């Protein structure tokens, strides 16, 4: 971990925290999910750097050590995409492979659609490509499911507000690392921006892609999701997609099985991108 370098990039009016390790022209950018920050990619970053790649992992605006936006309630997925482009331009990086987890799959794939000249390939874990706009998968979630609750302004805030004295005492000890961010931006993106329309008329990703799914990932329980992935319907939107299932994998496969995931990423990079 000591090899990982940390810097702050001032773009889009905010100070963005970026973790980085490795050097060279082969650049892999890691996009975290919820409730995560760059640190969730530490195993993959160190491995790829040792294999000759440059690994970069930003904290999204309002996450980790990055500045929160002035009005968190107005944050969009479009902001995350613009932030990423601005960070790459600041670092003078023209082309990358994106590795994303959970809701990070959305900005990864949307960047590949909106700026195909910048994206050489996409790897996602836990979430496949989902066409932009209103999603049938969120519409049919069970009543009371946390995503449905957190999409409603005030519901998540009420959930987190029900803390007993013991929990409050624990959180007070964490105050220095939580005070600057709060939780507002993380509720807005992803949960309250899931139906965002990015004006994409032809949602077909041409770049090579890899989807890594744990067989025990709770995402498979979303109505229609298992059929969408396992029937191959997802390949209507990502034709050049390989799908790999990890029998014991959960939603956090990159931390649960880092060695296996590292090898899958390396194989993809060395055979599909830089062969």
User: Are 125 and 250 spatial neighbours (Cβ–Cβ below 8 Å)?
Assistant: no
Choosing from 60, 63, 109, 191, which is the catalytic residue? 191
The DSSP secondary-structure symbol of 140 reads T
Choosing from 16, 17, 32, 251, which is the catalytic residue? 251
Backbone φ and ψ of 44, nearest 5°: -70, -40
Choosing from 102, 109, 217, 228, which is the catalytic residue? 102
User: Are 52 and 22 spatial neighbours (Cβ–Cβ below 8 Å)?
Assistant: yes
Distance CA 150, CA 167 (A): 21
Retrieve residue 36's tokens.
């995560």
Distance CA 227, CA 35 (A): 26
Q: Is 43 a catalytic residue?
A: no
Comparing C-alpha atoms, which of 265, 10, 35 is closest to residue 150?
35
Q: Is 109 a catalytic residue?
A: no
The strand pair at 209-214 and 119-125 is best described as: parallel
Q: Is 102 a catalytic residue?
A: yes
SS3 category, 6: strand
| Residues with catalytic roles | 102, 191, 251
């Amino acid at each position: 971990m000591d090899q990982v370098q940390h810097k702050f990039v001032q773009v889009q009016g905010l100070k963005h925290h970026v973790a980085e390790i490795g050097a060279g022209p082969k650049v892999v950018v890691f996009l975290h999910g919820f409730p995560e920050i760059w640190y969730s990619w530490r195993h993959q970053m160190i491995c790829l750097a040792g294999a000759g790649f440059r690994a970069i992992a930003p904290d999204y605006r309002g996450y980790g050590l990055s500045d929160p936006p002035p009005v968190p309630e107005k944050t969009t997925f479009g902001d995350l995409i613009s932030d990423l482009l601005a960070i790459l331009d600041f670092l003078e990086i023209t082309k990358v492979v994106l590795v994303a987890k959970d809701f990070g799959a959305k900005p990864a794939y949307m960047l590949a659609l909106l700026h195909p000249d910048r994206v050489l390939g996409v790897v996602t874990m836990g979430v496949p490509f989902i066409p932009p706009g209103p999603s049938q998968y969120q519409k049919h979630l069970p009543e009371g499911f946390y995503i449905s609750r957190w999409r409603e302004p005030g519901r998540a805030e009420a959930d987190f507000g029900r803390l007993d004295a013991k929990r409050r005492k624990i959180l007070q000890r964490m105050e220095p690392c939580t005070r600057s961010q709060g939780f507002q931006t993380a509720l807005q993106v992803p949960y309250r921006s899931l139906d965002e329309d990015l004006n994409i008329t032809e949602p077909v990703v041409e770049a090579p892609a890899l989807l890594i799914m744990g067989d025990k990932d709770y995402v498979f329980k979303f109505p229609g999701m298992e059929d969408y992935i396992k029937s191959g319907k997802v390949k209507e939107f990502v034709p050049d997609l390989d799908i790999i299932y990890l029998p014991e994998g959960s939603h956090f496969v990159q931390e649960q099985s880092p060695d296996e995931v590292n090898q899958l990423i390396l194989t993809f990079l060395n055979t599909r991108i830089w062969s």
